[in-house]
Amino acid sequence: MQLHNTFSGRKEDFVPGDPERVTMYVCGPTVYSYAHIGNARPAVVFDVLARVLRRRFARVEYVRNITDIDDKINKAAAEQGVGIEVITQRFAAAYHEDLEALGVAPPDVEPRVTEHLPDIIAMIERLVAKGHAYEAEGHVLFNVTSFEDYGKLSKRDRREMVAGARVEVAPYKKDPADFVLWKPSSEEQPGWDSPWGRGRPGWHIECSAMSAALLGETIDIHGGGHDLVFPHHENERAQSCCAHGAQYVRYWVHNGFLNVNSEKMSKSLGNVLLVRDLLAQAPGEVVRLALLTGHYRHPLDWNDDTLPRTRKQLDRLYGALRDVADVEAEDIEPPEAFVAALEDDLNTPAALAELFELARALNKAGDDAERARLKGQLLAASKLLGFLGQSPESWFAGDTSDLGAEQIENLIAARDAARKAKDFAEADRLRDEITALGVTIEDSPQGTRWRME
Ligand code: AMP
Ligand code: ZN
Question: From the first residue on, what is the mean pLDDT of each consecutive set of 10 residues in the chain (453 residues)?
Answer: 98 98 98 98 98 98 98 97 97 98 98 98 98 96 96 85 66 92 96 98 98 98 98 98 98 98 94 97 97 98 97 97 97 98 98 98 96 98 97 84 67 88 88 83 80 72
pLDDT of residue 413: 86
Ligand 1: residues within 6 Å at CB? 27, 29-30, 38-39, 41-42, 224-225, 227-228, 255, 257-258, 265
pLDDT of 21-44, one tens digit each? 999 999 999 999 999 999 999 999
DSSP state of 345: T
- What architecture is domain 260-394? Up-down Bundle (1.20)
Among all bound ligands, the one having the nearest atom to the CA of 65 is: 2
Q: Name the fold adopted by 2-255.
A: Rossmann fold (3.40.50)
Output the CA angle 121-248-165, nearest 5 degrees: 70
For the CA of 226, the nearest atom of ligand 1: 12
Ramachandran angles phi, psi of 202, nearest 5°? -70, 175
pLDDT of residue 167: 61
Among all bound ligands, the one having the nearest atom to the CA of 208 is: 2
- If one residue of 49, 227, 298, 306 were mutated to test the ligand 1 pocket, choosing by the most ligand atoms within 8 A of its CB, it would be 227
CA–CA dist 8, 25 (Å, integer)? 19
Distance 37 CA to ligand 1 centre (A): 9
pLDDT of 383-431, one tens digit each? 999 999 999 999 998 855 455 666 788 888 889 888 988 889 889 988 9
8 Å CB contact between 444 and 412: no
Distance 73 CA to ligand 2 centre (A): 16
Average pLDDT of the chain? 94
Whose CA is closest to 52, among 346, 251, 382? 346
Distance 233 CA to ligand 2 centre (A): 7
How far is CA 198 from each of CA 116, 178, 201, 412, rounded to the nearest angstrom? 16, 21, 10, 66
CA–CA dist 115, 119 (Å, integer)? 9
Distance 442 CA to ligand 2 centre (A): 58
Residue nearest to atom 8 of ligand 1 (CA): 39
DSSP state of 277: H
Is-same-fold flag (2-255; 260-394)? no
Q: Which residues surround ligand 2, an ion (CB under 5 A)?
A: 27, 207
| H helix intervals, 15-82 | 37-56, 71-80
CA–CA dist 19, 74 (Å, integer)? 41
For the CA of 256, the nearest atom of ligand 1: 21
Distance 45 CA to ligand 2 centre (A): 16
Residues with Cβ within 8 Å of residue 309, at least 6 apart in sequence? none
CA–CA dist 203, 143 (Å, integer)? 16
Distance 204 CA to ligand 2 centre (A): 6
Residues with Cβ within 8 Å of residue 406, at least 6 apart in sequence? none
Distance 368 CA to ligand 1 centre (A): 46
For the CA of 224, the nearest atom of ligand 1: 10
Q: Is the dihedral of CA 146, 149, 154, 159 positive or negative?
A: positive
pLDDT of residue 443: 84
Residue nearest to atom 4 of ligand 1 (CA): 29
Kind and range of the H or E run holding 370: helix 368-385
For the CA of 300, the nearest atom of ligand 1: 20
Among all bound ligands, the one having the nearest atom to the CA of 25 is: 2
Domain limits of the chain?
2-255, 260-394, 398-452
CA–CA dist 376, 327 (Å, integer)? 10
